[in-house]
């Protein structure tokens, strides 16, 4: 059978040829997800990618992103690229419409609010010139130096790959650390004057807020960003709040591609059981100001 393929552009500049997802891919995605040590998203995207049209910043073999036979290892690609590709694959499989429900953020209300968005409209920002150059250069491990303005310490700032983000997700899942420090330690592989893991951990935990803000701004300036926070207005209390794009349960499913159907007893009907449920329940790291 002739496979349908299409061209997909990532925010970094990488352009790949991708085939449409098949039932076996989605089944594998759900199966692998039950074992959190497996990065099911990266495996899913690697299976769908059949060729490379433009390598973007992934121009040399040491990055382990593009193999000599033109396969893409999404674990080694930047996290923002893999998030964008996942959204792209969803659009190609089920269309751009995404319907979901979210609890009202007003603790006195908590109504389940229905929301619809077109995911093809999510704005993507690419790498800064410095970040692009860092990824293309040999031996940088996607790191460049920054000097923290308040404490004056020089740190190595790392653009996270999908594998790095998966590591952060596992740390959070195992509740080894709070979200902020765990994520920050992976992003700061080098901190001047801090040799041991204990010293590095202490440094991150005692970082003053202005330096922490500087790092967040640096992230926004240099790394791939997807504007995937969704504004929701509660239909009951009128409260306006933001929620991350729900890329977990039901995202890669026809269930979220059409409005929920009212059932006989008048309540809307949507199965809570999905082949794709469980994978990346935490998130896919698409929303990234953390």
How far is residue 245's CA from residue 124's CA, in Å, rounded to a whole number? 14
Question: Is residue 102 a contact residue for Zn ion (CB under 5 A)?
Answer: no
Question: Whose structure tokens read 């319907």?
Answer: 99
How far is residue 98's CA from residue 77's CA, in Å, rounded to a whole number? 26
Size of the site for Zn ion (CB under 5 A): 8
Quick one: CA torsion of 23, 25, 30, 35, rounded to 10 degrees?
Answer: 150
Stretch that binds Zn ion, among 20-28, 100-108, 180-188, 194-202 (CB under 5 A): 100-108
How far is residue 187's CA from residue 140's CA, in Å, rounded to a whole number? 14
Full strand arrangement of the beta sheet holding 154-158: 143-147, 154-158, 190-191
Taking CB under 5 A as the criterion, the residue among 5, 46, 106, 201 binding Zn ion is 106
- Closer CB to Zn ion, 64 or 111, in the complex: 111
Nearest approach, Cβ of residue 233 and Zn ion (Å)? 9
Residue 32 makes CB contacts below 8 A (sequence gap 6+) with 38, 40, 43, 44, 279
Nearest approach, Cβ of residue 231 and Zn ion (Å)? 14
How far is residue 103's CA from residue 100's CA, in Å, rounded to a whole number? 10
- Closer CB to Zn ion, 154 or 240, in the complex: 240
Q: 3-class DSSP state for residue 144?
A: strand
* Measured CA distances, 34 to 184, 248, 275, 285 (Å): 27, 13, 11, 18
Alpha-carbon torsion (32, 36, 42, 46), positive or negative: negative
Question: Is residue 105 a contact residue for Zn ion (CB under 5 A)?
Answer: no
Stretch that binds Zn ion, among 40-48, 74-82, 196-204, 236-244 (CB under 5 A): 236-244
Question: Is residue 234 a contact residue for Zn ion (CB under 5 A)?
Answer: yes
| Interface pattern 179-218 for Zn ion (x via CB under 5 A) | ----------------------------------------
Question: Is residue 232 a contact residue for Zn ion (CB under 5 A)?
Answer: no
Question: Is residue 148 a contact residue for Zn ion (CB under 5 A)?
Answer: no
Residues 76/62, Cβ–Cβ less than 8 Å: no
Alpha-carbon torsion (226, 64, 48, 100), positive or negative: negative
- Closer CB to Zn ion, 15 or 237, in the complex: 237
Question: Is residue 236 a contact residue for Zn ion (CB under 5 A)?
Answer: yes
Nearest approach, Cβ of residue 98 and Zn ion (Å)? 21
Nearest approach, Cβ of residue 242 and Zn ion (Å)? 14
Taking CB under 5 A as the criterion, the residue among 115, 237, 270, 290 binding Zn ion is 237
How deeply is 259 buried, as exposed, middle or buried, from its count of CB atoms within 10 A (0-12, 13-18, 19+)?
exposed
| Interface pattern 18-57 for Zn ion (x via CB under 5 A) | ----------------------------------------
Quick one: CA torsion of 130, 131, 136, 141, rounded to 10 degrees?
Answer: 120
Question: Is residue 78 a contact residue for Zn ion (CB under 5 A)?
Answer: no
Taking CB under 5 A as the criterion, the residue among 93, 102, 109, 186 binding Zn ion is 109
Stretch that binds Zn ion, among 5-13, 22-30, 126-134, 232-240 (CB under 5 A): 232-240
Binding site for Zn ion (CB under 5 A): 104, 106, 109, 111, 234, 236-237, 239
């Amino acid at each position: 059978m002739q496979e349908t393929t299409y061209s997909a552009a990532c925010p970094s500049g990488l352009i790949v040829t991708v085939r449409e997802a098949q039932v076996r891919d989605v089944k594998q995605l759900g199966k692998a997800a039950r074992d959190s040590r497996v990065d099911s998203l990266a495996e899913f995207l690697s299976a769908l990618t059949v060729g490379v049209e433009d390598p973007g910043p992934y121009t040399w073999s040491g990055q382990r992103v593009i193999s000599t036979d033109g396969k893409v290892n999404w674990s080694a690609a930047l996290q923002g690229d893999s998030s964008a590709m996942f959204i792209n694959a969803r659009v190609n499989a089920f269309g751009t419409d995404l319907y979901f429900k979210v609890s009202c953020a007003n603790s006195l209300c908590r109504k389940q609010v229905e929301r619809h968005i077109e995911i093809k409209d999510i704005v993507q920002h690419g790498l800064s010139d410095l970040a692009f150059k860092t990824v293309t250069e040999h031996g940088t491990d996607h790191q460049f130096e920054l000097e923290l303005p308040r404490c004056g310490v020089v740190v190595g700032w790392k653009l996270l790959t999908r594998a790095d983000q998966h590591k952060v997700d596992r740390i959070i899942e195992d509740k080894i650390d709070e979200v902020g420090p765990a994520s920050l330690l992976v992003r700061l592989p080098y901190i001047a004057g801090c040799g041991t893991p204990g010293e590095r951990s202490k440094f991150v935990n005692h970082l003053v807020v202005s330096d922490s803000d500087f790092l967040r701004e640096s992230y926004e300036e240099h790394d791939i960003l997807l504007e995937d926070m969704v504004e929701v207005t509660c239909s009951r209390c009128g409260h306006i709040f933001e929620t991350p794009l729900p890329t977990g349960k039901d995202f890669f499913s026809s269930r979220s591609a059409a409005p929920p159907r009212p059932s006989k007893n008048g309540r809307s009907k949507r199965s809570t059981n999905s082949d794709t449920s469980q994978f990346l329940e935490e998130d896919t790291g698409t929303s990234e100001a953390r």
